[in-house]
Amino acid sequence: METQITLSPNADTLNVAISGELDSLSAPRLYDQLSQAIKDQPNIKKIVFECQNLSYISSAGAGILLLSLDNFGHRGIDFELRKVRPEVYNILDLLGLTKVMSVSNA
Amino acid sequence: MPKYILDFAATPDNLPVIRYFVQEHLKAHLSDPVRVNQLTVATEELCANSIVHGNHSDPSQKLRLELRIEKQRLHIYLYDPAPPYDLHKYPFPPKLLRKDTNRPGGLGIYLIRQLMDKITVRRRGQQSVYHLVKNLA
């Protein structure tokens, strides 16, 4: 399944819709797109990931979320993952991501 | 005793192939999608480590993945030409960000250890044989 990442800025919030699978092949693309968006719009205060169509995440995908939180969180940017499917939530929870960022179930 | 085999080259491009192989076969035996996903993730992480770290993503290196379901247990075997690595030597739990690289490290191996009941590796002939076991009862 092809991974699609769509970024939609809205005032000081960046909405990021991810569909498909976030793995070692697609995760670097997410990081590059986030980096570019934050560079282009330095007023961003929050990144909201819409995850209802995210069907799979590997450690590489989770690692990119952690790396993004570490690098962009220093700038005062909050992270939120919304509508996360149970399979993906379970992996994020096992890795401790649900303790360091806001993650809500589908 | 169902047994499924996948032969693949050591390139990250094959990770989705491995994922779909595991998902499709386990779906036939397990009804809980969270459990199917956990076992898929553990298998993919094992293969990813062997492909990237053991075989340096060299597509000339060939690996074999074997799934067996016996007596309510899933056995995952990975036959790998690279020297074995010790899945137990990494920090547990992992550091979310490694101080030396400032990147996440050890997350995949952490997941394998969290999700599987038994993990062994041994050298047999010219291959390392990883054996992961999960009780399905």
Q: Mean pLDDT score of chain A, rounded to an integer?
A: 93
Residues 6 or more apart whose Cβ sits within 8 Å of residue B82: B50, B54, B55, B61, B128
Q: Which residues in chain A have their CB less than 8 angstroms from residue B12's CB?
A: 24-25
- Cα three-residue angle A75-A81-A86, rounded to 5 degrees: 150
Q: Which range marks the domain in which residue B120 is found?
A: 3-135
pTM score of the predicted model:
0.92
* Identity of the residue numbered B96: L
Positive/negative CA dihedral, B89, B87, B95, B56: positive
Per-residue pLDDT for A29 more than 60? yes
Q: Which of the residues A65, A87, A100, A105 would you substitute to probe the B interface, choosing the one with the greatest number of B C-beta atoms within 10 Å? A: A87
Which tokens go with B70?
Answer: 């016996």
Q: Which fold has domain A4-105?
A: Transcription Regulator spoIIAA (3.30.750)
Number of domains in chain B: 1
* A42 touches A74 (CB < 8 A): no
What is the helix (H) or strand (E) element at residue B34, kind and residue range?
A: helix B33-49
Q: Give pLDDT tens digits for B55-108.
A: 999 999 999 999 999 989 999 999 999 999 888 776 655 565 555 555 556 889
Residue A11 zone, left/alpha/beta (φ > 0; ψ -120 to 50; rest): left
The residue of chain B nearest to residue A92, with distances taken between CA atoms, is B111
Q: Where are the domains of chain A?
A: 4-105
ipTM of the complex: 0.91
CATH number at residue B104: 3.30.565.10
